[in-house]
Amino acid sequence: MNSEASAPAQSNDAGGEIPNETARRLESALRGRRATVAVVGLGYVGLPLVRALHDAGFPVLGYDVDREKIAKLRRGEDYLKHLGPSFAARLNASGRFRASADEAELRDADAIILCVPTPLGPHREPDLEYLLSSTRMVARRLRRGHLVVLESTTFPGTTREWMRPILEETGLRCGSDYFLAYSPEREDPGRTDASTRTIPKLVGGVDDVSGDLAEALYASCIDKVHRVSSADIAESAKLLENVYRAVNIALVNELKVVFDEMGIDVWEVVRAAATKPFGFEAFWPGPGLGGHCIPIDPFYLTWRAKEFGHSTRFIELAGEINSRMPRHVVSRVADALNRARKPVHGADVIVIGIAYKPDVDDMRESPAAEIIERLMALGARVAYHDPLVPVFPAMRRHRIDLRSEALDAARLARSDCVVIVTDHRAIDYALLGEHAALIVDTRNAMEDVPRPRATVVKA
C-alpha cells in the first residue's frame, strides 16, 4: 500500500500542519504493515532484510542494478545459500514481493532502505560511489511522505551531511516533506543462533520525526529496537562495534607471532584466559581479516577523524597488524617447506577454504586471495579446495583463475603443502592428516585430529 495514495497530501504552500499529518499517516501504515518497503541492494545485507520485512507481513520491493540477481529472484533461484533452500520461491509465492531493476518503481514505495556497498578506495579512503549514486537515484523518485533509511556502514555525519543535501535538491524538506534516518546493518552471514529479526536494531533519525518513523518501521519487523538520539550516534556506534573487534583481533594476531617464537600455542593461551568469568572475551587469531565490516569500517572513522585534526593511532596500528597476516602465513609456508627441504618455487600447494569465514560462500575481502597471489608470485603451483566456492570469483582487487579441486588421498599425496585458510565444517580434516605430508594450519583446525601422519605447522 502506498500510504500517501490512501490519503493524498494537500499543498503546503501556506505553511499549514500538513507535514505532521503526512508523518502520522505514514506511521500508521508502518505500524499496520500496510506500507510498501523498498530495499535497494539485494546482497548479504539487503536480502536478509527483505526476509525480515516479508516475514513480518510487509509488501516488499527488492531493487538491484544487477539484472541477473533480479532474474534469479523472479525465477525463484537462491543465490545466497545461507538464507536456506526455497527462500526466493517463498517470496514469489506470497504475492507480497516483487524484484525489480526499474528505479521508477521506488516512487510507489512508502519507505526506501539503502543497503549498498561502502568499500575503501586504494588509499583506505571511504568510497561513497555506490551510496551517493543510490541517493541520487532516490532523489529522482522522492516524493512527499517518503521515509529513507541508510543501513550501509559509513562515517559519522554521512546521512545528515551527504545524503540530506542531495535529497533536498528536490525542494522537499527533511522532517516535514520526507524523512531520513540511519539504522546500521548487523548481519553475520552463516550465523545460526541469530537472524536479522532477532539481532537488536539501532535507529537514529536526522530529526526526531524521522527517528520516530524509522523506529516504527523496524519495530514492526525486528524483535528489539534501540532508539538513539541521532543518525550520527547510530553511525558512530556501528563503527565502534567493528573497531572493537578489529583491535582485539589485531592484539591476538600479534601475540600469535610472538608466542610462536617462544614455542607457545596461542590457541591454548586464549582458551586458558577465557576460563576467567569476567573481564575477558576470547578473540581468535587467523590468516587476516575478511568480510564486509572489520577490514573496512574502522578506516571510515580514521578518515573522518583526520578532518577534525585527530590521528586514530590505535585503529591504524590494528589495521597494520591485521593486514600483515597474509604475508605472515606465506612466510610460515616458506619456512615449513624449507624445513622439508623443498623450495616454494615449483611447490604444489593446496589452499583449503577461500571464503572469508567458515561455512559461508562469502568471498568479500577474504585473506585467501592475497595468500594465493603471494604464493603464486613466489613460483608455487597453487590449487584450492572449497566446497562452498566452486569457482574463484572476480574481486575488486584480485583476479585469480582457479576452480575448486576435489580432494582425495591421491591428490593430497601429490601435494607438497596444504594450507588451511578457512575451516569449513564440511572439510574432512582426518583425510588431510592421513594423506598430506605437510599442513600449515592458520585456524587450529587440525587440533581434533588424533595423531595425524602429516607434519602440522600452526600459522
- The catalytic residues are 293
Closest to 58 in 3D by CA, of 87, 5, 96 = 96
Q: Give the three-state DSSP class for 18.
A: helix
Percentages helix, strand, coil for the chain (3-state, rounded to 5) are 40, 15, 45
Those residues with Cβ within 8 angstroms of residue 264's Cβ, 6 or more apart along the chain or in another chain? none
Instruction: Identify the bridge partners of residue 182 per DSSP, sorted by sequence position.
Output: 150, 204
Buried b (16+ CB within 10 A) or exposed e, 94-114: eebbbbbeebeebbebbbbbb
Show the cell assigned to 103: 528505479
Edge-to-edge strand ranges of the sheet holding 147-150: 97-100, 60-63, 37-40, 111-114, 147-150, 179-182, 201-205, 225-227
The position carrying cell 572475551 is 281
The position carrying cell 542494478 is 65
Closest to 353 in 3D by CA, of 427, 432, 438, 249 = 427
Instruction: Identify the bridge partners of residue 97 per DSSP, sorted by sequence position.
Output: 60
Check residue 142 and report its DSSP letter: -
The position carrying cell 516504527 is 216
Show the cell assigned to 128: 561513497
Check residue 349 and report its DSSP letter: E
The position carrying cell 555525519 is 157
